[in-house]
Amino acid sequence: MESNSMYLIKEKNGMKKDFSLLLSMMDYARFTSLHEVENLTVDMLDYRCHDEANSIGMLLAHFDAVEKIYQALTFEKLTDDEVEAYAMELEPALSLGSKAAEGIKGHAVEYYVENLQRTRDKTINQFNKLDEAWLYEETDWWYGQKGNNFFKWFHVFEDEINHRGQIRLIKKLYAKENQGIKVE
């Protein structure tokens, strides 16, 4: 990611224009998400304010799982059964919930960041192979409506932005519960 162009949505990295624009937005969303979690301890990453709540670690694993399922949904020609089987492999991070709370914990922030980067590298590699017309290919999507690949990848980072708000709230709740611990 070019640090001097973080706030510019433009062609970059030798990518085709529309992929560059999409990736510019994805990069900024990821940059701000990672800024929220840098230097957090394992205790902070695993903190849940109540039994039904997500932890920051769970949400980071969810970001990774969402991007992976959208790779499968858009890059590969999988049957519905194959997509369903792959989604099961991504559980519990994909759906979150109590199973995620049981299994997604005990990891340092670097663990999550490395997973996110490996997945993003795969996305970028695939974007570089595709023609821009691919972004506009329409398929049946949600609620009987059509969706194109551009929208699907918009949704990947839109979901991350949504959950980043949860991360900010979790950090505040952790700080309040652990008086004297400042969480930036």
Q: Where are the domains of the chain?
A: 51-177
Q: How far apart are CA 140 and CA 73, in angstroms?
A: 12
In the prediction, which pLDDT does 13 show?
75
Within a 10 A sphere around the Cβ of 179, how many other Cβ atoms? 6
Q: How far apart are CA 14 and CA 3, in angstroms?
A: 16
In the prediction, which pLDDT does 4 show?
62
Is the model's pLDDT at 180 over the cut of 50?
A: yes
Q: How far apart are CA 140 and CA 155, in angstroms?
A: 15
Q: Does domain 51-177 have CATH number 1.10.275.10?
A: no
The pLDDT tens digits of the residues spanning 56-66 come to 999 999 999 99
In percent, the amount of the chain with pLDDT more than 90 equals 83
Q: How far apart are CA 184 and CA 182, in angstroms?
A: 6
Cα angle, residue 125 at apex, residues 119 and 127 outer, rounded to 5°: 105
Q: What are the tokens at 26?
A: 């994805």
Q: Does the CA dihedral 38-39-40-42 come out positive or negative?
A: positive
Render 108-135 in DSSP notation, one character per residue: -HHHHHHHHHHHHHHHHHHHHHS-GGGG
In the prediction, which pLDDT does 1 show?
47
In the prediction, which pLDDT does 77 show?
85
Q: What is the mean pLDDT of the chain?
A: 93
Task: Find the range with the poorest average confidence among 11-15, 130-134, 142-146.
Answer: 11-15
In the prediction, which pLDDT does 183 show?
64
Across 107-113, average pLDDT: 98
77: Cα separation from own chain's centroid: 22
In the prediction, which pLDDT does 184 show?
63
> How much is the pTM?
0.93
Which residues, in sequence order, are bridge partners of residue 140? 146
DSSP state letter for 11: -
Task: Find the range with the poorest average confidence among 31-35, 112-116, 143-147.
Answer: 143-147
Radius of gyration, CA atoms only, the chain? 17
In the prediction, which pLDDT does 182 show?
64
Is the model's pLDDT at 3 over the cut of 60?
A: no
In the prediction, which pLDDT does 103 show?
96
Q: What are the tokens at 162?
A: 């949504």
